[in-house]
Every structure is written in C-alpha cells, then in structure tokens.
Amino acid sequence: MIIPRVPVQHRRLLPDRRLSGPTPWVIAILMMLTLLAAAAGVGLARSANAIGSAIAGRVTVQIVTPNPVTRAEQAAALRRAAAAQPFVLSARAVDREELQATLGQWFGSETNGEGGDDPVLNSLPLPALVDIDFVGENRRRHMQELRALVAAEAPGARIIPHAEWLGPVAQLIGSLAWIAGALVILMTLASAAVVIMTARAALGTHFATIEMLHLIGATDRQITRLFQRRIAIDTAYGIALGTAVAAALLLLIGWQWAGVTSGLAATASLGPGGWALLLALPLLAIALAALTARQTLLAALKKIL
C-alpha cells in the first residue's frame, strides 16, 4: 500500500536512476526541520505547563517587621498556622542563609561555601519569607483565607502570588510552543508540495511511456503503483536521512542542556509522549508522501484518455 509491490519485470518500465535528483535531499532537509520544530514545540509546551502548574498555587509572604526577633517569631507562627490550614499543601520558611546566598550573587560577594561573612550583606535588614503552596485550584478563595491568617499572625506583611510575575514567562513559552507547532504543520504542507511536484515531473518525463502503457491496456492502478513505488522509495531515503540528522542533533542538544542547567532540564525534557510523537512523525511522513503521490498520479492520469 505505502510502497506498492510491483513485479521486477515491470519495474524496468521506469529507468533505473532516481526519479528527480534533488527530491530526497529537499525532503531530508524538511524532515529534519520538522522534527526539530516538533521537539522544540513539545519541550516548550511541557516546560510552560510545568512552570504554570508550579507557580499557579504558590505565594510568598514577605514579613518586614523592623524588630528582627519579632520578625522571626511572626514568621515561625505564620508557618505553623498556615501548615495547619486545610487549604495549604505546604508552608516553608525561607532560611536567612538562602536569602543571603541569592542576594550575594547580586552583590558579588563570595557567599558560596564560606557563608555570610560579608559585612554589608550581614547588616542588611532582610525580610522574613514564608513560601506557601495552596491545595487545589480555588486560588481566589484561598487568597482571602490566607489574607485573614496573615492579618492575624503577621500584620503588615505582603502577600506575593508567583503567578503574577512568572505568568508572562509561562505565557511566552506557551506562545513559542504554538509557533513551533505551526511550523511543523507548514513544513508538512511544504513536503507534500514537493511530493506533488515530483510526481508531476515524473509524469511529464515519462509521458510517452505512460501513453504507450495506456494504449496496450494498462490500468491507471498499474501505472500509479509503478510511479508511487519509486516516489515512496525516493522520499523514504530523504526521510530516513533527515530523521537521522535530527536525532543526532536532539541527542547533542539534550546532552549539553543536561550539563548546563540540571535544575531546568527536568522541565524541558520531551517525556515518553514527546519521543513517541517524534518517532511517529517520520512514519507518518512516509505514509503521507505515498498517499499524496498516489492521489496526484491518479488525478493526472484521469486527464488522459
């Protein structure tokens, strides 16, 4: 069906050389780009989702009470009270060291390993932070309840929902994923167009043979199978080559990505579904090419008596 069976003696009806020189190469390039775009799309969509679900239900409470002792007490009390609430999944007080480490990167201090021996950093009146993850989806209601809790335990503290400042990032990544998806579709259409042009060119080149075959009683089906087989084989070569190059590139990128940012690597991986999609694409492409060739050939043959 995809690569039709044609008796060996019939295959000789088409000269042995490839049907049209550049087709396998163009198909290879398009296939490679399609796979890379698909991989980028899947990876981006997955990280957009991961970021989205990680930030959707998280808020940070910032306690800025001037007295450091009261501040620490309020933070501890809020953490305990919040953890006891049914709508809170988890509550965690952020360590002073953790804050200093983060800030140290901005100040350029050598805080990693040694600890906070930077006098400037040590003298800063750092706020106390409590990270809280909500249970479930009902954010608006949870925020009201949390606000009441904060007013009781740490009056004057600010509540910062993460979605507010990471949301646009997640949205941007999501848009990029859609663009990658659109590219996959456009390149699929371009590949189909290449196959149609190849089929038409083949018909033109071999018109005399086709006319002859018709006149001695060959059916459209017989002629179509002959050409479809050759075009399917030609494009299959291109698809295999493009897939091999894309696979090599993806493995290389994955390997480098893992080395650079171990923290983000998890969110940008393709996942089993993504890999399955990437494996399915070349097979779908071969089937699409064969069907496109078949339809083009049958339509063209109908115009000849």
Partner 1 sequence: MVEFDGVGLRYGPDAEVLSDISFNLQPGSFYFLTGASGAGKTSLLKMLYLAQRPSRGIVRLFGEDLVSMPRQRLPGFRRRIGVVFQDFRLIPHLSARDNIALPLRIAGVGEDDLSGPVGEMLSWIGLGDRAEAHPATLSGGEQQRVAIARAVIARPQLLVADEPTGNVDPEMATRLLGLFEALNRLGTTVVVATHDIHLISRIENAQMMRLEKGRLADPTGALRYPPANRA
* Largest interatomic CA distance in the chain: 102
**What does the per-residue mask of binding to partner 1 show for 195-214, with x meaning CB under 8 A?**
-------------xx-xxxx
Residue with tokens 């501040």: 71
- 218 sits near partner 1 (criterion: CB under 8 A): yes
CB hemisphere CA count around 217 (13 angstroms): 0
Closer residue to partner 1, CB minimum distance, 49 or 205: 205
Closer residue to partner 1 (CB): 25 or 207: 207
- CB under 8 A: which stretch of 194-202, 218-226, 239-247, 250-258 binds partner 1? 218-226
* Shortest distance in whole angstroms from residue 41 CB to partner 1: 44
Could you say whether residue 5 binds partner 1 (CB under 8 A)?
Answer: no
Task: Rounding to the nearest 10 degrees, give the CA dihedral for residues 152, 153, 154, 160.
Answer: -90
Would you count residue 26 as binding partner 1 (CB under 8 A)?
A: no
Of 177, 197, 172, nearest to 30 by C-alpha is 197
In whole angstroms, what is the distance from residue 28 CA to residue 38 CA?
15
Q: Among 220, 244, 264, 298, indicate the residue that binds partner 1 (CB under 8 A).
A: 220
Closer residue to partner 1 in complex, CB, 45/213: 213
Q: Hey, which residues does 132 pair with through a beta bridge?
A: 59, 91
Task: Kindly state the smallest distance separating residue 227's Cβ from partner 1, in Å.
Answer: 15
Rounded distance, CA 98 to CA 136, Å? 28
Dihedral angle sign, alpha carbons of residues 137, 139, 145, 150: positive
- CB of residue 291 to partner 1, shortest distance in Å: 20
Contacts with partner 1, residue ranges (CB under 8 A): 7, 9-10, 12-13, 15, 208-209, 211-220, 222, 302, 305
